Amino acid sequence: MDKLFLEDRVLLQVEKPARYIGNEVNAIYKNKEEVAIRFALCFPDVYDIGMSHLGLSILYNLLNQRDDLWCERVFSPWVDLDRIMEEENIPLFALESQEPIKTFDFIGITIQYEMCYTNILRILDLAQIPLLSKDRTEDHPLVCAGGPCVYNPEPISDFIDFFYIGEGEVQLDALMDAYKHHRENGGTKKAFLEIAATIEGIYVPSFYNVSYYEDGTIERFVPNHPKAKPQVKKVIMMDMTQSRYPMKPIVPYIQTVHDRVVLELFRGCARGCRFCQAGIIYRPVREKDLEILKEQAIEIVKNTGHDEISLISLSSSDYSQLNALASYLIEAPELAHVNLSLPSLRIDDFSIELMRKVQDVRKSSLTFAPEAGSQRMRDVINKNISEEDILQGAYEAFMGGWNRVKMYFMLGLPTETEEDVLAIPKLGQDIVNKWFTMPGDMRKQRLQIVLSTSFFIPKPFTPFQWMGQASSDTFLEKAKLINKNINKKNIKYNSHDADTSRIEGVLARGDRKLNEVILKVYQKGARYDAWSEHFNVTLWNEAFDELNMDSGFYNERRRELEEILPWDFIDTGVKKSFLYDEFLLAKEGKTTVNCMEGCTNCGAMCFEGGICYARKT
Amino acid sequence: MLVRLKFKKEGPIRFVGHLDMMRTFQKMFTRAGIPIAYSEGFNPHQIFSFASALAVGVSSESEYMDVKLTEDVAINVLIEAINLKAPEGIFFLDGVEIDNKETSAMASVVAATYRIEVLNSIITEDMLSAMMSQETLIIRKKNKKGKINDFDLRPGIINILLKDKHLIMTIANGSHFNIKPEMVLEKLLALNDLNYVRCDYRFHRVEIYHDHNGLRPLLEVKLGL
């Protein structure tokens, strides 16, 4: 493809013009005259971030396996190009064909974090497509969305025509088949929504009505269309070994966040940390077979030329074949010049030994995520790691040659006291003390500990979904308390932005009334809210004020069990009663076994596979 | 085995900058499965180097690189293998085995020829001859330490002419004496009270030279000099 949509004049004005030229190795080109469906697959953030996302690569591969469809990529133009496109009225285009997306059949948006909602509106706006679903006509693409955020789709339900709840491998083909058939028979795009609504996992928000009590909570959530299902059940891929994995992922020209081969070990997580949404919505754990992973590693390296392989999952230590896989990847002659990187490991002797084998100790720092400082607090969140584990892990790491340690914590967890907060700097200090128990000749380098806190955000489909989020002021006080008590000699302390956490908390558990707020914030100029240098909380505060709405209703308010939550109509397989039982156990500081140790009957067994059954055989 | 390869860079990939080209070529060599040599040490990397960096947005029909291989491969076989895996817009044209003692492409570059398409500006023969008749062409240039110094372009302009709306210039390039084509353009316009605007021109590199009894394209080396 020699065609570029942007003129040289424009490309020469912007930072990293290679973000906008397509043409990368393994990008897929088709003859647009020969395809029935044009699909713009969109990640609403900058190219460098979006191209690092495995889900996007999986969907791109999946959709393009169809001969009748051309799936192309769209990312948010960076702020420099954004400005030029606005000034010169340049429509947003797809990277492959370098053609405007406003005439495509579909715009499919993957939504990975709430703070990109204004970027979604920006994408539609730059594409010159009406923002509101109801204002779009047959001349416009159908706009659909998927990803973890759509487990509560309500805050953006006015902008999206339909949502896909679950994993793309399962229903995308059926959906596209149905669309093609419908269009060939002369059906309209609007009418296609009625067909989509009947497909499992698909939610068409305009087919439902929501009424509210005076206090703003939901009175009724009911279908207004005969084709609309009262409950929308997520769809997930049960046989991960047979799932279609991208063997020829695109190789970006520019440095992206993850510039390497990514091997997906399994989906789901057995751990059951009570703050973690991913740990619930992706249940049950479904592993990929060791042999297929070995084959895929070799072939993807051959097809991309990457010099690093990364293992990805929610908790890589829990992969039953981790040792065998890591040994193979280290020793395979085909991978002689390929490094292995191992994120998301639990800290124990085994993983320290493994990391020592594969990583350059001098360059890498070791990351621990105890999430909470005190044992009591870790029991509340069901993070089953003891202080002894952490200190012993740190000691092993120091003896292994590491002198840089990063630690992640959350502030504002349910039932948190001052004592729990102070346990964070204390744990940091205990680790410093561990360092000094090492023989002197092991301590030639300077110890560097970085301690980071983020603010706890209750998310839908977690046992904490009923909890109130702490106010920004409370967060800042807690952060200040840590800062005052930290030993600054060896420990560096970072704290996340409280305003961002507040807005994320609002959006995460929002209802349909938030559509108006998001639209207003967007119109006020909000862009790239996920980027601290672009996030402007004033715009959000103004929007709430002007609409006479209270953001605290969404994030700080404590919900009752009886309340209809905006996302209750989605069925993740995990029962609401299980979440509530977990909530009660949390308040008592009682832990729950993980799925490897025993079944807690959460409900995910309804998918008839994965760890729920593997454990039994 | 040490080889010097010649390739062209055309089309959209001209917007990929020098450092990204290095990464792109590393991956290309891995995909091509050629027996490229790796450096020793903790962090082994492929042993290859470009003759001269090409600025973002500039295309070229003659780029050069030196590549070290662990075993002998016929040049045409090597080029075929690489071209099969090269990204669109990169095409390897030719190559030659060079002696280990040969000065590296990077160190031996002395000059380069550019063809600059004048898209939206007026440049005349008179402007060129007026400029070339000057003894010195002083510009202000930041050195590596960020200090601004006077710098004379004139000795670096080996040849400059106008041909069907294209400015063709051969100028000094390399580590000893390096000037950029836009410096010449900027000076040329300044002498005529005009401003230089980057997007009024399209830059294309035609050739890169070393000094082998006069300016010779980099591929012209004698084995075992």
Low-confidence winner among A385-389, A408-412, A460-464, A530-534 (lowest mean pLDDT): A385-389
- Chain A nearest-CA distance from B199, in A, is 5
The CA–CA distances, whole Å, from A8 to A11, A285, A291, A473, B198 equal 5, 49, 47, 49, 10
Partner-chain residue, chosen from B33, B57, B85, that has the shortest CB–CB distance to A8: B57
Query: What pLDDT is attached to residue A572?
Result: 98
- Chain A nearest-CA distance from B36, in A, is 11
Q: What is the DSSP letter of B102?
A: S
Query: What pLDDT is attached to residue A617?
Result: 47
CATH of domain B2-107: 3.30.70.580
What is the C-alpha to C-alpha distance for residues B65 and B84, in angstroms, rounded to an integer?
18
Q: pLDDT per residue over A124-175, tens digit each?
A: 999 999 999 999 999 999 999 999 999 999 999 999 999 999 999 999 999 9
Mean pLDDT of A398-418: 92
Domains of chain A: 8-233 (3.40.50.2300), 239-359+584-617 (3.30.750.210), 360-496 (3.30.750.200)
For A264-282, b/e burial (b = at least 16 CB within 10 A) is bbbbbbbbbbbbbbbbbbb
Closest CA in chain A for residue B119: A9
Which residues from chain A sit within 8 angstroms of residue B47, using beta carbons?
none
Measured torsion, CA atoms of residues B198, B133, B169, B218, in degrees rounded to the nearest 10: -130
Query: What pLDDT is attached to residue A488?
Result: 86
Residue A252, pLDDT above cutoff 90: yes
What is the C-alpha to C-alpha distance for residues B203 and B166, in angstroms, rounded to an integer?
10
Residue A323, pLDDT above cutoff 60: yes
Residue A349, pLDDT above cutoff 70: no
Average pLDDT for chain A = 94
Q: How confident is the model at residue A362 (pLDDT cuts 50, 70, 90)?
A: low
Q: pLDDT per residue over B121-140, tens digit each?
A: 889 999 999 999 999 999 98
With pLDDT > 90 as the criterion, what percentage of chain A qualifies? 87
Strands, sheet with A404-411, edge to edge from the N-terminal-most edge strand? A366-371, A404-411, A448-455, A491-495
Q: Is A296 on the interface with B (CB under 8 A)?
A: no
Query: What pLDDT is attached to residue A348?
Result: 67
For chain B, domain boundaries: 2-107, 109-211
Partner-chain residue, chosen from B11, B24, B30, that has the shortest CB–CB distance to A253: B24
Interface of A with B in 299-318 (CB under 8 A): 301-307
Q: Is A25 on the interface with B (CB under 8 A)?
A: yes
Neighbouring-strand partners of residue A212: A218
Which residues from chain A sit within 8 angstroms of residue B29, using beta carbons?
305
Q: How confident is the model at residue A615 (pLDDT cuts 50, 70, 90)?
A: low
Give the residue, A616 or A593, on which the prediction is more confident: A593
Global ipTM: 0.93
Partner-chain residue, chosen from B27, B42, B56, that has the shortest CB–CB distance to A360: B42
Query: What pLDDT is attached to residue B225?
Result: 43
Residues composing chain A: 617
Which residues from chain B sit within 8 angstroms of residue A51, using beta carbons?
none
What is the C-alpha to C-alpha distance for residues A52 and A40, in angstroms, rounded to an integer?
18
Q: Kindly determine whether residue A23 and residue B12, on different chains, have CB atoms separated by under 8 Å.
A: yes
Query: What pLDDT is attached to residue A365?
Result: 78
Strands (E), A569-611: 570-571
Residue A616, pLDDT above cutoff 60: no
Task: Count contacts between A and B (CB, < 8 Å).
Answer: 79
Query: What pLDDT is attached to residue A354?
Result: 78
Would you call A232 helix, strand, or coil by DSSP?
strand
Q: pLDDT per residue over A81-119, tens digit each?
A: 999 999 999 999 999 999 999 999 999 999 999 999 999
What is the C-alpha to C-alpha distance for residues A42 and A110, in angstroms, rounded to an integer?
6
pLDDT means per 10 residues, chain B with 225 residues, are 97 97 97 96 90 96 98 97 98 95 92 96 93 93 81 94 94 92 95 94 97 92 58
Q: pLDDT per residue over A563-594, tens digit each?
A: 999 999 999 999 999 999 999 999 999 999 99
